């Protein structure tokens, strides 16, 4: 069995995915990458003002993990604001609602109705891409 892959649950893809300070030519512009799960943690905690435990529950992570995600996200945002770096929102170990991610090949796919009881993101048996391959 591959190591269990537990993506962080994100309710929707962010609408805005690039931010940059004005007046800095692109070649001189440094960029920080804020992952989609970091953006979701900021949204839940700082915008919706949920308790940390509730944010953690919504994202299907431990509270300690949520805390680490928030610290990382806020550091990146602070770096951008204070040191004038662009922010690119991209990637990260996340799954949208109703989406499954194969823990082996990391391909995303829509959760099927008949799989609705499967633990979020952990069903590898039905992956059409790598099912039956490398089976131990």
Q: How many residues does the chain have?
A: 136
CB atoms within 10 A of CB 115: 12
* Smallest distance from Zn ion to CB 112, Å: 15
Residue found by looking up tokens 């993990």 in the block: 65
Please identify, using beta-carbon distances, which residue of 15 and 136 lies nearer to Zn ion: 136
Q: By CB under 5 A, tell whether 97 contacts Zn ion.
A: no
Residue 105 binds Zn ion, judged by CB under 5 A = yes
- Mark residues 30-69: x for contact with Zn ion by CB under 5 A, - for none: ----------------------------------------
In terms of Cβ atoms closer than 10 Å to its own Cβ (0-12, 13-18, 19+), residue 50 is middle
Our finding on whether 95 is near Zn ion (CB under 5 A) is no
The residue from 8, 45, 76, 104 that contacts Zn ion (CB under 5 A) is 104
Binding-site ranges for Zn ion (CB under 5 A): 102, 104-105, 127, 129-130
């Amino acid at each position: 069995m591959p190591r269990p892959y537990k993506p962080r649950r994100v309710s929707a893809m962010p609408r805005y995915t690039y931010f940059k300070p004005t007046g800095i030519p692109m070649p001189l512009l440094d960029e920080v990458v804020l992952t989609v799960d970091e953006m979701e943690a900021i949204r839940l905690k700082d915008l919706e003002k949920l308790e940390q435990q509730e944010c953690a529950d919504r994202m299907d992570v431990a509270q300690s993990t949520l805390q680490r995600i928030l610290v990382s996200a806020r550091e990146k945002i602070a770096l951008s604001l204070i040191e004038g770096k662009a922010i690119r929102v991209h990637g990260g170990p996340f799954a949208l609602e109703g989406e499954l991610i194969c823990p082996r090949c990391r391909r995303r796919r829509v959760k099927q109705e008949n799989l609705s009881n499967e633990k979020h993101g952990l069903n590898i048996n039905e992956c059409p891409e790598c099912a039956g391959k490398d089976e131990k």
